[in-house]
Amino acid sequence: MLTAEPAQTRAPARFAAFGGAAAVVLTVVLVGGMDLYRLGDSTRHLRRTISEYALGPQRWVFDTGVLLLVAGSVAILAVLVRHGVAKWHSAGALAFGAWSVGLTLVVIFPKNNWAIGPSMSGSIHRFGSMVAFIALPIAAMLLARPWLRDRVWGAHARWTFGFGVLSALAFTPILYAIAVNAVVGTSWWRVIPLGYVERLLVLTEVVAVLVAAVWAIAVTRPGQLVTRTGQLEYRPSSTS
**Residue 134 vs residue 181, higher pLDDT:** 134
Express each pLDDT in 85-109 by its tens digit.
Answer: 999 999 999 999 999 999 999 999 9
The tens digit of pLDDT for each residue in 29-55 reads 999 999 888 887 777 778 888 988 988
Q: What is the pLDDT of residue 187?
A: 82
> What's the pLDDT at 223?
57
The helix (H) or strand (E) run that includes residue 224 is strand 224-226
Residue 6 confidence (pLDDT):
44
Does the pLDDT of residue 26 top 50, yes or no? yes
For residue 232, the cross-strand partners are: 226
Orientation of helix 91-108 relative to helix 59-82, angle to 10°: 160
pLDDT in tens, 128-139: 999 999 999 999
Rounded to whole angstroms, the Cα distance separating 71 from 122 reads: 23
User: Binning pLDDT at 50, 70 and 90, where does residue 117 land?
Assistant: low
- φ, ψ (nearest 5 deg) of residue 226: -105, 115
Instruction: Pick the more confident residue, 113 or 157.
Output: 157
Helix, strand or coil for residue 225?
Answer: strand
DSSP string for residues in 52-83? GGGGSTTHHHHHHHHHHHHHHHHHHHHHHHHT
1 vs 50, more confident: 50
pLDDT band at 9 (very low <50, low <70, confident <90, very high): low
Tell me the pTM.
0.86
Strand partners, 234: 224
Helix H or strand E encompassing 205: helix 194-219
Q: Which of 22-36, 77-91, 109-123 has the lowest mean pLDDT?
A: 109-123
